[in-house]
Amino acid sequence: MGIIDFNADKKLDFAAIGRLCIDLNANEINRPMEETLTFTKYVGGSPANICIGMSRLGLATGFIGKVANDQMGRFIAQYLAKEGIDSSSVSIDRTGATTGLAFTEIKSPTDCSILMYRDNAADLLLTPDEVSEALVADAKMLLISGTALAASPSREAVFLALDYAKRHGAVIAFDLDYRPYTWRSEQETAVYYNLAAEKCDIILGTREEFDMMERFERNPDRDDRVTASKWFAYSAQLVVIKHGKEGSVAYTKDGAAHTARSFPAKVVKTFGAGDSYAAGFLYGLLQGWEVERCMEFGSAAACIVISSHSCSDAMPTTGAVHDYIERCNRGEITANS
């Protein structure tokens, strides 16, 4: 039995709610965006990437979201169908909203940035009555993402999904996914992030994202244990705090702090690491693995994605992740060699 218990009778392993958008990744790398002329189009958005990652790992998945009534929206819907994701709860906007675009800049393997166009984005217009209670009830795990809390009616839709998940015994994971440009103020952000996190069993985020959530609290030393212990007083069973190159620490309710080894990678770009890590880590939890093994699997999945030009297209299969770990064990992969 793993650290978290899942209802084995449910037909869906995993469902996610939130952002569906388009990634336009620079083809000309090692140069600024001002000098970049061509981009390759992929499906993007953190919850979408994680759901795609889970599907690639062989799980039964579903998505709740909204796309624009345009070519980009249809591209996303077709991609989800191709990946075997239940998209019956992906609604189509009829108000003229557009699909969010994320242009990426790859100046170097470690100097990457994202330029987002999110005005009147269709994904933030998901309404509560478009959230399928049946799909949430069928899922062992529901993942929510912080960006979906940034505006109404998407915010209310997420809180309704949380209520459905509680009602039907789905384990809830929260990918903090803080994008400051989608929010009106840090105060608003902190309030709604905290209200959502109180209902979640698993919380994953960077140290900086947790700092944002603690702007009204006393944690001047940015102490991870102080951060984790707060959430154990609510619903959380597991809190993962990411520290970039220094790795991640997973805290469990019994007071233990778990770490795992990292792997070398031939890095092309840095974005996509968090989404692939989350997919691998949550997959391991659903398999009933020990926390360290889940973290190791997530780290290897992340290495595969940051070694590729894309995020969604690069999400690996279980076989690919196990092979990557074995190749690292044999010393066949070294960092940017």
Q: Is the per-residue pLDDT at 1 higher than 70?
A: no
Mean pLDDT of 50-60: 98
Q: Is the per-residue pLDDT at 200 higher than 90?
A: yes
The helix/strand/coil state of 324 is helix
pLDDT at 246: 86
Q: Is the per-residue pLDDT at 337 higher than 60?
A: no
Mean pLDDT of 248-270: 94
Sign of the four-CA dihedral 278, 249, 291, 300: positive
Name 12's bridge partners: 139
219-222's contacts with Cβ under 8 Å and 24+ in sequence apart are: none
Q: Is the per-residue pLDDT at 182 higher than 70?
A: yes
Name 112's bridge partners: 106
pLDDT in tens, 84-143: 999 999 999 999 999 999 999 999 988 999 999 999 999 999 999 999 999 999 999 999
Q: Is the per-residue pLDDT at 178 higher than 80?
A: yes
Mean pLDDT of 187-205: 98
pLDDT band per the 50, 70, 90 thresholds, residue 273: very high
> Which helix (H) or strand (E) segment is 111 a member of?
strand 111-117
pLDDT at 65: 98
* Pairing mode, strands 111-117 and 61-67: unpaired
Mean pLDDT of 247-256: 95
What average pLDDT does the structure give for the chain?
96
Any idea what DSSP says for residue 39?
E
Residue for token pair 């905290």: 194
* Pairing mode, strands 248-252 and 238-242: antiparallel
Mean pLDDT of 22-44: 96
Q: Give the count of beta carbons closer than 10 Å to the beta carbon of residue 102.
A: 21
Q: Structure pTM?
A: 0.97
pLDDT at 335: 85
Separation CA 265–CA 336 (nearest Å): 6
pLDDT at 145: 97
Separation CA 144–CA 126 (nearest Å): 13
Where do runs of H (alpha helix) occur along 169-206?
Answer: 186-197
Mean pLDDT of 210-226: 94
